[in-house]
Amino acid sequence: MCALTLLPARADVFDRPTTAADLIAGPLATPAKQIAGAQAIRGRFVFKRYLADIPKPLESSGEYVVLKGVGIDWHTLTPFDSETIVTGNGVTQIDEGAARRADVDAPAMQAVIRTLSALLSLDVAALSSTFELFGGATADGRWELGLRPRAQDLAAFIRDALIAGSVQIDRVSLGDANGDRTEIEFHDVAYDAAPPSQAERARFGE
């Protein structure tokens, strides 16, 4: 399990504009190399949703898989079993064995899905086309990356984002336009160079 530290003050991150090239050549060089050779990224997550009118965060945990160029399988295991499979063609929600599929037509929602995939795969080149980039290396040898949407339609969903890590991503913080916040901790992250199995690809509708 990776060691986690508290995220730095958001104001500090957003005082330091940067570029994708500087990040890849500097603090993200090692994770970028790991991800470049991976066909799949797998790990566990702890998801906390902070709402303005609820004193305690809504918390869930589970596991996820990112298939490069295919999509994301986000599987919540506690407090209940729920699975969301996201691809470029739509979103499939599986609850208690029953699957519901929704096509993704809205440009803003497509942008959110692309952003989520780029975040989990740390694709800063893709992120830079949609977000202004901030941050870099920290004094303790870690790195932090701040994002602010360039387009107003995406800003309606995401006010800003903060990603922090060492060799890999440890934590993501997403600020909503309405002031709510989502914190995601990542554990046991593994980069798999082997092609995904046919069964795994079939789960994504491949």
- Taking alpha carbons only, the member of 63, 65, 64 closest to residue 78 is 63
Alpha carbon distance 206, 203 (integer Å): 7
1 falls within a domain: no
CATH number at residue 161: 2.50.20.10
Q: Which residue type sits at 7? A: L
Average pLDDT, the chain: 85
* Within-domain flag for 164: yes
Scan for tokens 């995939």, then name that residue.
117
Asked if the structure places residue 93 within a domain, the reply is: yes
The model's pLDDT over 138-175, given as tens digits with 9 standing for 90+, comes to 988 899 999 999 988 778 888 999 999 988 889 999 99
Q: Is pLDDT at 5 greater than 50 in this prediction? A: no
Q: For residue 191, tell me if it sits in a domain.
A: yes
Query: What is each CA distance from 93 to 9, 26, 30, 146, 204, in whole angstroms?
Result: 35, 38, 34, 29, 12
Asked if residue 185 belongs to a domain, the reply is yes
**35-87 pLDDT, tens digit each:** 888 999 999 999 999 998 898 999 999 999 999 888 899 999 999 999 989 88
Question: Domain residues for 92?
Answer: 10-203
> Domain count of the chain?
1
Q: Is residue 196 part of a domain?
A: yes
Q: Is residue 5 part of a domain?
A: no
Has residue 3 been placed in a domain?
no
